[in-house]
Amino acid sequence: MRVEEILKKGTAALKTAGISSPRVDAEVLLGFVLGCDRLALYREPRREVAAGEAARFEELVARRAAGEPVAYLTGEKEFMGLGFAVTPAVLIPRPETELLVETAVTLLRGAAAPVVADVGTGSGAVAVSLAVLLPAARVFAVDISTAALTVARENACRHRVADRVVFCAGDLLEPFAGNKSFFDLIVANLPYVPSGEVAKLPRPVRREPVLALDGGADGLVLYRRLVSQARPLLKPGGHLLFEIGSGQGAAALGLLPPAWEANVVQDLAERDRLVVARYRG
Ligand code: GLN
């Protein structure tokens, strides 16, 4: 079979299964099997696909149709223009989280040797992107999941920032307890889905670690703890940035006492997405 035929078949199978982006998913999976990018499939639509490759593709399409996320099938997800390894031990980096990284980079651009924490680093996508984009920064990345830290370390090596990213196993900012005025910036994309809504998430999202999604009764349980831990650890004038879900803006601002100057930034879809808080000191 040729590339164009096999893509058509795969797309149809995914569409029948109710997958929302059947063509793109089929292209990513075929590109993965053939070891080429999606554009190459368009350059060579009549390329002959070997029987073994076609069988491998069909197997991946079947798993995708059954609800597995594409990124877990390929082991790979792009974030901030960089390729990251992902496994089912980590949340798949989301495009909307790029806002967190972009805002952090804007705040720290020009800082001499900023010290940054990424709490709940998961795949390390945020920590590693920050280290790549801020060559003078030192980043401390924490996760309670040691399986996630293994993936994050691999990503730091892949992007050659392992010498500036320190990984710590721990609960939120506990590994740094006792330090004072240590960080210039703390970023976090913690679980923020209210417990009662986790079961209603789309099927592929429910394949991701519940540890990375379930944010307790109102979704803000972990951020409540993070805010109180962050205050002594931040330098006066330092920033705390954390991602939230649409509609959580007002409640999230309510977590920050008057020592903080805070506002909510919306994403490209105009949903509440990020809290930017400055510790006045
Ligand atoms: N944005 C994710 C989702 O919609 C949630 C990520 C998180 O809880 N930090 O599934």
Where along the chain do its domains lie?
3-66, 76-279
Which value, in Å, is the radius of gyration of the alpha carbons in the chain?
20
Are 35 and 29 spatial neighbours (Cβ–Cβ below 8 Å)? no
Question: Average pLDDT in the 265-272 region?
Answer: 95
The per-residue pLDDT for range 5-50, each reduced to its tens digit, is 999 999 999 999 999 999 999 999 999 999 999 999 999 999 999 9
Alpha carbon of 14 to ligand 1 centroid (Å): 24
Q: Is the pTM of this model over 0.85?
A: yes
Alpha carbon of 223 to ligand 1 centroid (Å): 14
Question: How long, in residues, is the chain?
Answer: 281
Are 14 and 26 spatial neighbours (Cβ–Cβ below 8 Å)? yes
Q: Given pLDDT bands bounded at 50, 70 and 90, which one contains residue 168?
A: very high
Looking at ligand 1, which residue's alpha carbon is closest to its atom 8? 191
3-state secondary structure of 199: coil
Check whether 228 has a pLDDT greater than 90: yes
Q: Which atom of ligand 1 is nearest to the CA of 120?
A: 9
Place of tokens 């205050």: 231
Q: Which CATH number fits domain 3-66: 1.10.155, 1.10.8, 1.10.10, 1.20.120?
A: 1.10.8
Q: Which atom of ligand 1 is nearest to the CA of 201?
A: 10
Q: Which atom of ligand 1 is nearest to the CA of 219?
A: 8
Are 262 and 234 spatial neighbours (Cβ–Cβ below 8 Å)? no
Specify the CATH architecture of the domain 76-279.
3-Layer(aba) Sandwich (3.40)
Going from the C-alpha of 201 to that of each of 83, 118, 150, 194, 213, the distances in angstroms are 26, 25, 26, 11, 10
The per-residue pLDDT for range 125-136, each reduced to its tens digit, is 999 999 999 999
3-state secondary structure of 172: coil
Site to probe by mutation for ligand 1, drawn from 192, 214, 248, 275 as the one with most ligand atoms within 8 Å of Cβ, is 192
Q: Which atom of ligand 1 is nearest to the CA of 202?
A: 10
Token pair for 102: 């972009």
Give the pLDDT of residue 110: 86
Alpha carbon of 188 to ligand 1 centroid (Å): 12
Looking at ligand 1, which residue's alpha carbon is closest to its atom 2? 213
Looking at ligand 1, which residue's alpha carbon is closest to its atom 7? 191
Distance CA 74, CA 125 (A): 16
The per-residue pLDDT for range 169-218, each reduced to its tens digit, is 999 999 999 999 999 999 999 999 999 999 999 989 999 999 999 999 99
Q: What is the mean pLDDT of the chain?
A: 97
Distance CA 122, CA 188 (A): 10
The per-residue pLDDT for range 229-240, each reduced to its tens digit, is 999 999 999 999
The per-residue pLDDT for range 53-96, each reduced to its tens digit, is 999 999 999 999 999 999 999 999 999 999 999 999 999 999 99
